[in-house]
Amino acid sequence: MKPLISEERQYRMRWWTLVFISFSVVLIVTDASSVNIALPTLQRELNATVSQLQWFISAYIMVFGSLMLIAGALGDRLGRARTLRLGIMIFSAASLGAAFVRSGGQLILCRTVQGIGAAIILPATLAIVTNVFPREERGRAIGVWAGINGFGIALGPIIAGLLIERFGWPWVFLYNLPIAVVAMIGAILLVPDSRDPNPTRLDLPGTALSIGALATLCFGLIRGGDLGWKDPAVIGSLAASAVLIPALVLWERHTTHPMLDITMFRSRRFSAGAGAVGITGLSMVGITFATTLYLQFVQHYTPLQTGIRFVPLALGLFIGGGTSDRLVARLGSTRVIALGFLLTTALGVFASFWEAATPYWQLGLFFFGIGFSLGYIAAPATDAVMGSLPKTQAGVGSAVNTVVRMVAGAVGVAVLGSALGSIYSSSFQKAAAELPALPAEIMAAAGDSVGAAVTAAEQLPGDTGAALARIARESFMDGWQVIAFVVCGIGVAGLFLTLKFMPARHERLAEDNGEPQDVHAKQRT
């Protein structure tokens, strides 16, 4: 489809384009985080098994992550606006189907299709932003894009909690439809259909290798925390990814028409930016995972109340990401990203002093501060990734950026979750000696997780239940202190890597001297 507006008007309407692109981003990220809140209700209403509950989340993430690279490459070939519209249609159809399912298996299928739509949508949005905005405004636009990602993550649980309480679980999926309608209107009216003018033929072996490598890696990381790292399926999946990832790199280096141009990693700015994005994803997901457990099982908040208390985190991400470009213009990417990592480290030290009864005003300050810090990292790092590539590779670059963040997030949950669980279990077993004799099955479950311990404590009489809950919460805080210092270590590592490898400014690309930049410059004078 040809653009419905001229190039000049496309430029004048660029911020409106970003507004409508934001609806596509919100569509994906709110859905990803809202389904977690609906899991208890889905279990009751659909008679879902524990395994099915896990796959309601895992199926979406696995498909989303494994198809990202090929979706970005197809956007570069077929046109980003065209693929964006396709992704919105697929996601909307799957959301409508999910609202009317009658079994857990049917919902897993719908969530899988939603993952396909999301994989097509997200790389297209960032690629479109990169193509619509000129170099001097791109950092600010990408900052807004990154901030909306974070804001949507926090918004999802709040929306889901309200909808479930007032209208029922199908509306967790139906509310996607009006958002999709607005996003589609913007995609038709305001988004120019940019693409690579000289695409090579499709790299089918590279496509197969990328899907296999990312699917096995995501499966191993996601299921390792549930099944255990010694489970044969987890070991086999991670082993397969360890073989497929080098095979993908080797193939892409030697084929004449690679889906993923490995030479892009030779750019220090691209590689350092991708590394910073990955570290941000690891920190963000790890922190939200641990603090969700803390708020619900240690501080007694309901899921809806927990979601509301994450709002400062979302605001911090939005403000930090949206304002970082001004400081980057003055100080350069290196110093701004390093400042973000330095603040993250300091906040990790602050969080290590939390107790079971820490007042929320301190938690809220932490959430806002960590969101602001991660915004100062994510937005300039994403701009470094996208600004290192010609616009013809914007789709693949966007996909790489998102894949790195998703995989790092999965690593964050796997590693930090395992560390938290291990320390909790060890502390609980030592402290449980003071408890009166309890059934072995209760002690085993309570020693496995703070959630199981608090739930069991509610069923026990008087002082016995109170003692079990107290020991569980104290044991969790032992693990939390370690997690807080791990966040400090992540911040220090990110600080070192940024100062060592991140160039302060963009390298000039050949296209920066081309006509599009000149046209925009004339329009601003």
pLDDT number for residue 346: 93
Please state which of the ranges 47-56, 240-249, 448-457, 465-474 shows the lowest mean pLDDT: 47-56
Average pLDDT over residues 8-21: 77
User: Would you give the DSSP letter of residue 148?
Assistant: H
Cβ neighbours of residue 46 under 8 Å, at least 6 residues apart?
A: 52, 101, 102, 103, 104, 107
Average pLDDT, the chain: 81
CA-to-CA distance for 108 and 98, rounded, in angstroms? Answer: 9
Residue (of 290, 341, 288) closest to 314 by Cα position = 288
pLDDT surpassing 60 at residue 489: yes
pLDDT number for residue 54: 66
Contact criterion met (CB below 8 Å) for 110 and 10: no
Contact criterion met (CB below 8 Å) for 193 and 81: yes
What is the CATH architecture of 1-195? Up-down Bundle (1.20)
User: Would you give the DSSP letter of residue 438?
Assistant: -
Angle at 68 between CA 66 and CA 69, to 5 degrees: 100
More confidently predicted of 11 and 283: 283
Please report which confidence band the pLDDT of residue 5 belongs to, taking 50, 70 and 90 as the band edges.
low
Please state which of the ranges 106-115, 134-143, 285-294, 504-513 shows the lowest mean pLDDT: 504-513
Handedness of CA 151, 381, 112, 289 (dihedral sign): negative
pLDDT number for residue 198: 67
Residue for token pair 């996003």: 183
pLDDT surpassing 60 at residue 513: no
CA-to-CA distance for 390 and 194, rounded, in angstroms? Answer: 12
Structure tokens at 314: 């979302």
Contact criterion met (CB below 8 Å) for 296 and 303: yes
Structure tokens at 276: 């910073």
Average pLDDT over residues 431-443: 74
pLDDT number for residue 40: 67
pLDDT number for residue 6: 57
User: Would you give the DSSP letter of residue 297?
Assistant: I
**Other residues' Cβ atoms within 10 Å of the Cβ of residue 172:** 26
Residue (of 432, 493, 499) closest to 467 by Cα position = 432
Handedness of CA 226, 232, 235, 240 (dihedral sign): negative
Residue for token pair 């320390």: 423
Structure tokens at 322: 């949206």
pLDDT surpassing 60 at residue 7: yes
More confidently predicted of 235 and 264: 235
pLDDT surpassing 90 at residue 434: no
pLDDT number for residue 378: 85
Region of 507 on the Ramachandran plot (φ > 0 left; ψ -120 to 50 alpha; else beta): beta
CA-to-CA distance for 342 and 476, rounded, in angstroms? Answer: 26
pLDDT number for residue 117: 92
pLDDT number for residue 3: 46
Please state which of the ranges 124-133, 205-214, 503-512 shows the lowest mean pLDDT: 503-512
Angle at 246 between CA 240 and CA 250, to 5 degrees: 140
CA-to-CA distance for 384 and 325, rounded, in angstroms? Answer: 11
pLDDT surpassing 50 at residue 516: no
Q: What is the pLDDT of residues 274-303, one digit of tens each?
A: 888 888 878 777 777 788 788 878 888 877
Distances (CA, A) of 161 to 100, 169, 309, 338: 19, 9, 13, 37
HSE value, Cβ hemisphere, 13 Å, CA-based, for 370: 29
Residue (of 122, 92, 114) closest to 21 by Cα position = 122
Distances (CA, A) of 144 to 297, 378, 380: 33, 11, 11
The ranges assigned to domains in the chain are 1-195, 260-509
CA 506 to chain centre: 25
What is the CATH architecture of 260-509? Up-down Bundle (1.20)
pLDDT number for residue 393: 72
pLDDT surpassing 60 at residue 517: no
CA-to-CA distance for 276 and 260, rounded, in angstroms? Answer: 20
pLDDT number for residue 86: 93
Give me the count of residues in the chain.
525
**Other residues' Cβ atoms within 10 Å of the Cβ of residue 261:** 15
Where is 304: in which H helix or E strand? helix 303-309
Percent of all residues in the chain with a pLDDT value above 70, rounded to a whole number: 90
Q: What is the pLDDT of residues 87-132, one digit of tens each?
A: 999 999 999 999 998 888 899 899 999 989 998 988 888 888 877 8
Residue (of 271, 272, 24) closest to 125 by Cα position = 24
How many helices and strands, by DSSP H and E, does the chain display?
Answer: 21, 0
Contact criterion met (CB below 8 Å) for 334 and 343: no
Residue type, 312: P
Q: What is the pLDDT of residues 149-203, one digit of tens each?
A: 777 776 777 888 788 878 888 998 998 999 999 989 888 887 777 776 666 677 7
What 3-state class would DSSP assign to 253? Answer: helix
pLDDT number for residue 361: 93
pLDDT surpassing 60 at residue 521: no
